[in-house]
Structure 1
Amino acid sequence: MPLYEHVFLARQDLAQAQVDALAENATKILTDNGGKVVKTETWGLKSLAYRIAKNRKAHFVMLDVDAPPAAVAELERQTNINEDVIRFMTIRVDAHEEGPSAMMRREQRSGRGERGERGDRGDRGERSGFRARDEEVE
């Protein structure tokens, strides 16, 4: 069977239990139609880049799916009807990602401390080579 990733955004005013119920409903739709959900990740309540249906934030949920195309079509049909889901996207993938997704790994990192110094700045924050060019002009 083909492999898919299905991500949906739920309204910001829903409780986490309601978001989990939406994910369980999607899992039930897929299993009833001959598919299965390999992994479910809840990415949490995140800010949106722009407003969608008067929502500034949304609950993000991703499902790794192994199902026939008819089951995915039924999932998309049901998701499109649901008022609590403001956006969704399903893509076909060659293989599911092992371990946590990129969104989950982002939360585990410890900020900017891993990047280190830039290396192109002098002691006083000046770019290297800038002073030498000025001195030659004079």
Structure 2
Amino acid sequence: MKLKNYETVFVLTPVLTSEQTEGTITKFRNFLLEKEVEIVHEEAIGLKKLAYPIQHKNTGIYHLIEFKAKPEVIATLEIAYKRDENIIRFLTFVLDKDGIEYNEQKRNGTLQLKKHIEFEPKKEVIA
């Protein structure tokens, strides 16, 4: 079966020590490697403010992993997220060809964002 490109972001509770945080991140990295996935990119985004409180917490530690895997790995990964009390939110999604290209350009520093197109306001027409 062909491997698909995925990106997963998980949010850790902010009350963890740096050792606990690194331990949890290592746990999920090793989990993916045990499932024979190819990790393309990993980024520790760090402590960020949440859009809304989760479990009475206003901040969370974000971590992103981009990888190639078989589709059946995702269900087991998300079950592992749900079982870990240090994870307060997670999101895993498939990257299409544009998403893969965007991530590569972002990592290489060659990202060219399209300029915002401004529209002229409609002229009032009196009939």
Note the residue ranges of structure 1 that are not aligned, 5 or more in a row. Answer: 102-138
Matched residues, number: 101
> 1:81 matched to which residue of 2?
83
> 1:20 matched to which residue of 2?
22
> 2:56 matched to which residue of 1?
54
For residue 91 of structure 1, the aligned residue among 82, 88, 93 is: 93
> 1:64 matched to which residue of 2?
66
Q: Structure 2 vs 1, CA of residues 52 and 31 (structure 1 numbering), >3 Å: closer, same or farther?
A: same
Taking CA–CA contacts closer than 8 Å with sequence separation of 6 or more, which of the two structures ends up with the larger relative contact order?
A: 2
Alpha-carbon distance in structure 1 between the residues aligned to 2:22 and 2:106: 18
Contact 1:34 1:71 in 2 (8 A): no
Contact 1:3 1:93 in 2 (8 A): yes
Shift of 1:100: 4.7
CA deviation map 1:73-93 (0-9, x unaligned): 211110111000000000100
**What code does the residue aligned with 1:22 have?**
T
Shift of 1:16: 2.8
Alpha-carbon distance in structure 1 between the residues aligned to 2:19 and 2:104: 26
Question: What fraction of aligned residue pairs are identical, expressed as a percent?
Answer: 28
**What code does the residue aligned with 1:58 have?**
G
Shift of 1:36: 2.2
> 2:45 matched to which residue of 1?
43
Contact 1:10 1:60 in 2 (8 A): yes
CA deviation map 1:37-78 (0-9, x unaligned): 211101111111110011110000000011111222211110
Shift of 1:22: 1.8
> 2:9 matched to which residue of 1?
7
**What code does the residue aligned with 2:92 have?**
T
SS of corresponding position for 1:98:
helix
How well do the aligned residues superpose, as a CA RMSD in angstroms? 1.6
Alpha-carbon distance in structure 1 between the residues aligned to 2:20 and 2:106: 23
